[in-house]
Structure 1
Amino acid sequence: MKQDISAMILAAGRGRRMGDMTNHTPKPLIKVNGKSLIEWQIERLVSAGVTNIVINVAYLAELIVDEIGFGEPWGITICYLYEPLDAYDTGGGIARALPWLSDPFIVVNADVMTDYDFSHLIHYSQAMKSLAHLILVPNPKHNLKGDFCLDGQSNIIDKTDKIGQSYTYTGISVCRKSLFANVYVGEKVSLPSVWQSFIEQKAISGEVYHANWCDVGTPERWQEVSNGY
């Protein structure tokens, strides 16, 4: 039986690499062809069947809440977790959100542009055995060394443990709540740090996505996706 799955959009970052573009606008609200980065994520999640979204916010948080609202235009529920700027990092921010999330749940960065179909991740989650499943892409020019490798059983392995093809994490994953069992509420910890010990246990899986994806982390990359969407 198909289960309902919720999603968390990570939107609490300052976006310092965007320079003046984020002086008065939080990065998730930067527009790509008339639509904010975070709206692109919401619409793709909704089209895949997600009906509950949690968004963590910090820098210029009220602007995000005012523009996005609480989900009515999409017929879903959106709730917000407010954070002091730079307080919890990605892993700590997710740990605070667990009471409002399904198990498992989708995680997506607010600042990526992609054609990825989240329904594939929802389908995978129905019988996932790993604690997290990461969507990877071939390394873009800004991250040629990559983040992770995969073994023959689709387990994520540290790239330092393998000579061969590495891949870049897209900012998209599905996670089980038990992944955060050792993270206390209020702790500042990155999501990759949470994964690390479980990677060593071969409890984190992944797959490679071969299509459009961009981490909109700089004005140059924003211009690139603006020309391509």
Structure 2
Amino acid sequence: MILAAGRGQRMRPLTDVTPKPLLQVRGKALMQWPMEALARGGFHRLVVNTAWLGEQISDYFGHNPASNGHESLSNLSSLDLRYSHEGRDFGRALETAGGIVRALPLLDEVFWVLAGDVYAPDFAFTQAAVDRFAASGKLAHLWLVPNPPHNPRGDFGLSADGQALNQADEQYTFSTIALYRRALFEAPWCPIPAGNPHGVVAPLAPLLRAAMDAGQVSAELYTGPWTDVGTPERLAELNAT
């Protein structure tokens, strides 16, 4: 699942007319980078949630991007896209947990989630990672990154044996890239009914922190190129290098 529903307030005025995941980074739509990486890893069925200017995203990529009339999308011929239109259905974005629960009927028992506004061109999505996570019995596995200047205190700690921690002397930033098990978004961990029929807005962090306290979240450190493209300055810096 690629998260693409946010308003992108910090990217205004660019996002007044274009949803942030469609902003151009090095000649491609920002969210095309993770789409290509997922396809290289053999993951071909993608769910995209939308809200702000969401029709632009579904119009641009369609259900099979390579057949949607954009030459730059020709290397996405293997992808099958489905959309969860939160803006159309509820008039607002549902935040991360609310959006995942809404899309849960379209997702497998174990699934990837990542933000469509994060640039990590070298990240490898592998079946081996999915298999290890599925065998672990954990509810989530997170990829953490060294703290960027805009998040110097980090989000979560990482134990020597690969457990994600709520509190630690050294904390890292959550990359947004993760593997999840459906059970994290069902009772008793999540109170929202399956499919989120009422459009409940819910953040992800409380679910993750509760699962961490129960020892149900593993993590690892990713040190490859990674940028949260959250401001026009960060976008310009990427496009200048």
The equivalent position to 2:137 in structure 1, one of 129, 154, 174, is: 129
Please report how far the alpha carbon of residue 122 of structure 1 lies from its aligned counterpart in structure 2 after TM superposition: 3.1
Distance of 2:21 and 2:150 partners within structure 1: 20
- Give secondary structure in 2 for the equivalent of 1:53: strand
Please say if 1:148 is aligned against 2:177.
no
Structure 2: state its 5+ residue gaps: 67-76
Q: TM-score, normalised by structure 1?
A: 0.91
Distance of 2:238 and 2:191 partners within structure 1: 35
Runs of 4+ in 1 over 6 A off after TM superposition: none
Distance of 1:50 and 1:116 partners within structure 2: 14
Give the total of aligned pairs.
Answer: 218
Please say if 1:90 is aligned against 2:96.
yes
Please say if 1:117 is aligned against 2:110.
no
Distance of 2:129 and 2:6 partners within structure 1: 24
Corresponding residue for residue 223 of structure 2:
210
Q: Any idea what the Cα deviations from partners look like across 1:109-149, whole Å, max 9, x if unmatched?
A: 00011121111633533423210000001111111100000
Corresponding residue for residue 4 of structure 1:
none
Distance of 1:188 and 1:97 partners within structure 2: 13
Residue identity in the other structure for 1:124? R
Q: Any idea what the Cα deviations from partners look like across 1:143-200, whole Å, max 9, x if unmatched?
A: 11000001222111113xx2x2210000100000000112411321111122121111
Q: TM-score, normalised by structure 2?
A: 0.86
Residue identity in the other structure for 2:86? E
Residues 146 and 166 in structure 1, CA contact (< 8 A), matched pair in contact too? yes
The equivalent position to 1:172 in structure 2, one of 177, 192, 200, is: 177
Structure 1: state its 5+ residue gaps: 1-7
Root-mean-square deviation (CA), in Å?
1.4
Residues 110 and 130 in structure 2, CA contact (< 8 A), matched pair in contact too? no
- Give secondary structure in 2 for the equivalent of 1:42: helix
Please report how far the alpha carbon of residue 38 of structure 1 lies from its aligned counterpart in structure 2 after TM superposition: 1.0
Residues 92 and 183 in structure 1, CA contact (< 8 A), matched pair in contact too? no
